[in-house]
């Protein structure tokens, strides 16, 4: 289905956002349209207290500027209350079973949990043992909230998703994984361009290629040709050790002016931030008029509000 033909229903069947593999194209479209609506209301200064009286627990094993501020502001704008929980300050960080943590939080009238952590299994276990919505704020394997914001940004810019070519350059990390999944589901053409040693998990690649148009390559020119979106991320994710050999290899996949000129004349540049200018991207690209990184960052707020509203409402 094309997003332009989708009619919003105001609901989704999913109870959690663990990975976008669990979501249909229609559910993704529902989130995108909900995000657009909430963004419109905010820009017009109109209240939208859809989660009045609700409380969102935010568990952080990995720190983040954008994830914390966007979720905290988002739940407040929806009329709810955020509760920041650093995993080092709660019993979960000192060996308490996840099953105990989620069951206790439920009894304290917590209405939903957002967790940003290392292991995907932690997110899965929260959903397995709890009865409240669980939102994956990031794991080493997936970053679904970022991918939703990315797709909203692409849709706003081009007015379409189907057959839009997105080329991702660099490490085949959690961001690349979620871009492959969501791109395949919404009808985009996704190309992941990485060194062979840093390619995404082959099992996941096989799965997403059954869902849609996903290509894995180590040819920069092939990836950039006719691309409407150029995308990159840092070479080393949080928690990874710096490795000069890996860095030197990934520098061959830097998004620079030459790569930008290989893409379509109206292409845009995206980065999930934080960025290291001079490494994965040059300053003349990320700070150019083709860059939409700040719109992309803002859209984290709107898409996450949409996710919370759809998952946590009564």
Catalytic annotation, residues: 116, 143, 146, 233, 272, 300
CA distance 193 to 92: 37
Q: Sheet containing 112-116: which strands, arranged edge to edge?
A: 81-86, 55-60, 112-116, 134-138
DSSP string, 181-233: HHHHHHT-EEEEE--GGGPPPHHHHHHHHTTSEEEEES-HHHHHTT-SEEEE-
CA distance 243 to 250: 11
CA distance 171 to 198: 6
Q: Which of 104, 12, 54 is nearest to 306 (CA)?
A: 12
Indicate the SS3 state at residue 241.
Answer: coil
């Amino acid at each position: 289905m094309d997003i332009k033909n989708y009619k919003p229903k105001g609901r989704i069947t999913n109870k959690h956002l663990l990975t976008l593999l669990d979501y249909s194209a229609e559910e993704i479209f529902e989130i995108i349209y909900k995000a657009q609506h909430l963004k419109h209301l905010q820009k017009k200064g109109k209240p939208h207290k859809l989660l009045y009286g609700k409380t969102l627990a935010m568990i952080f094993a990995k720190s983040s500027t954008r994830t914390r501020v966007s979720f905290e502001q988002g739940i407040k704008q929806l009329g709810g209350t955020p509760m920041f929980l650093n995993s080092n300050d709660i019993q979960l960080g000192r060996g308490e079973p996840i099953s105990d943590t989620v069951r206790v939080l439920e009894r304290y009238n917590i209405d939903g949990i957002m967790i940003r952590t290392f292991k995907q299994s932690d997110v899965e276990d929260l959903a397995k043992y709890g009865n409240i919505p669980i939102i994956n704020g990031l794991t080493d394997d997936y970053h679904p909230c970022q991918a939703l914001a990315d797709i909203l940004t692409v849709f706003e810019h081009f007015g379409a998703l189907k057959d839009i070519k997105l080329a991702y350059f660099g490490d085949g990390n959690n961001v690349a994984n979620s871009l492959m999944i969501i791109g395949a589901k919404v009808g985009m053409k996704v190309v992941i361009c990485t060194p062979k040693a840093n390619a995404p998990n082959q099992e996941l690649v096989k799965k997403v290629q059954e869902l849609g148009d996903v290509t894995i390559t180590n040819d920069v020119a092939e990836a950039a040709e006719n691309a409407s979106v150029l995308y990159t991320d840092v070479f080393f994710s949080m928690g990874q050790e710096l490795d000069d050999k890996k860095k030197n290899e990934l520098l061959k996949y830097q998004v620079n002016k030459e790569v930008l000129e290989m893409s379509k004349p109206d292409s845009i540049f995206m980065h999930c931030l934080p960025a290291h200018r001079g490494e994965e991207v040059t300053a003349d690209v990320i700070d150019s008029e083709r860059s939409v990184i700040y719109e992309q960052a803002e859209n984290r707020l709107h898409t996450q509000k949409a996710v919370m509203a759809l998952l946590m409402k009564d």
